[in-house]
Copies of this chain bind each other. A is one copy, B any other.
Amino acid sequence: MSENLLHSRVETIRRLARRGAVRPLANILQKTRAEDVAATMPHLAPAEQRFVFQHIEDDETAAELLARVGETDLANLVRDLPVERLVELLDAMEVDDETDVIALLPEDIRERVMALLQRDDREQVEELLAWPEDSAGGIMQPAAFRLNEDATCREAIQALQESGDVEQVFYLYVENEQGQLVGVVSLRNLLTRPPNTPLHEVMVPDVISVPPHLDQEEVSRIVSRYDFLAVPVVDEHRRLLGIVTVDDVIDVIKEEAVEDMMLMVGVHQDDPSDQPGGVLKSARQRLTWLLITLVGGVLVAELAKLWERDIGAFPLLAGFLPVVIGMGGNVGSQAATITVRGIALGHLEPRDILRVVWREVRVGLLLGLGYGLLLAVYCWLRFDRLFFGLGVGAAILAAMGAAAVTGSIIPLALQRARIDPAVVTVPFVTTLMDLVGVLIYFSVTTALIALTF
């Protein structure tokens, strides 16, 4: 379904929900895929969301909806739902989705739900909840299709036909007598071998697996590097705990991309300003970087004060400070972003520091030379002040060169110190470049202006 189709569906559902047209709405919901109903949720008001949810007749669809919405929408949907009904819907989910939903539930509801779960289901959920939510254990599903290595292909196919509880089968995992993971078989290979062949002859040994505590970002890197549909999670004795499937990996990659982008401008990824009382929370989360900008700004003012007399004598000096520090901030942010990305993609290491800095410095100086000349000529023609123009031009050149060094060196230095280079945000780099820029600007311009007197 294209985005346009989605939008017209949103419109229809919305209109019917608003009119309270129960029968037509239920009919449409019946005919619509669960994923498409879920996609309409962010566009509906809370009351509309609940109205739609109440009129979904198919349990699978209702369960899918709960599994797909975020924390706020989930709290809204389950607000008026009897806990017994919620447990029914949770039963219809795969246990990894079930765990995720339970983890997002408001605490009072969560406790009542846990008490009502069947014992083995509750134990599985509790085990999954024990792993950090951004680890392999936190995103795995415990149900995996597994057999002993001595089973034959025929037995495997039979087992596959009878395994109702494993919803989607990606690979068949092969275990030895000790329950250790020793191999993997694709469904297709199961079919292309004589039925009596034992699995240990069909399987690919030397399976790539991940430990349960591995960070989800690393898990996604492995799945994507080897083009896997799923990767097994094993404990320290190589016993299979579960699998992380490619659809969860896609969610991880998207999540991390949003997180990185938000981090870059100093915003928390789950900016809560859309929630009730969220404005305050949101302001609190953005406080830190703005405080750094503020402190930096005050320092800039204090530094500028050192040249107070020059500014008083020649006020034009003040007007060109913003462009010099602005250009420096831009070049610094660009160098930092390129370096942070290079590190994240695994292309750059601390040892590459000289090469990267040298490359960014050349780009920065080249651009600084061009724009410095341009600005020098502008100042000269506009104000008839050659030396002031040269001063501004030279300051821009120096600021851009310094910005390129700073922006590329800091992320690599942070990585060497084992700090996530992604903390080098745009606000941080621009603030730093403001300070460096103001020093460069006033030193260079006043020195050159002095020549004319």
Contact = CB atoms under 8 A, between A and B. Distances in A.
A450 interface: no
Interface stretch (A102-110, A120-128, A303-311): A303-311
A266 to B, nearest CB: 7
Contacts of A250: 223-224, 246, 249-250, 253
Nearest to A261: B261
Sort A-B residue pairs by CB-CB distance and give the 3 closest, nearest first: A297-B323, A318-B318, A257-B257
A233 interface: no
A310 to B, nearest CB: 8
B247 A224 contact: yes
A21 interface: no
A430 B296 CA distance: 16
Given A267-B334, A334-B286, A258 B319 contact: no
B214 A188 contact: no
Contacts of A378: 298
A20 B313 CA distance: 67
Interface residues of A, number: 119
Contacts of A257: 253-254, 257, 260-261
A416 to B, nearest CB: 13
A322 interface: yes
A323 B298 contact: yes
Contact of A287 (B2, B43, B367): B367
B214 A2 contact: yes
A245 to B, nearest CB: 8
Contacts of A254: 224, 253, 257
A293 interface: yes
Contact of A312 (B294, B315, B431): B315
B346 A3 contact: yes
Interface stretch (A83-91, A234-242, A271-279): A271-279
A264 interface: yes
B290 A304 contact: no
A419 interface: no
B319 A302 contact: yes
A267 to B, nearest CB: 5
A427 B346 CA distance: 27
Nearest to A170: B229
Interface stretch (A50-58, A177-185, A355-363): A355-363
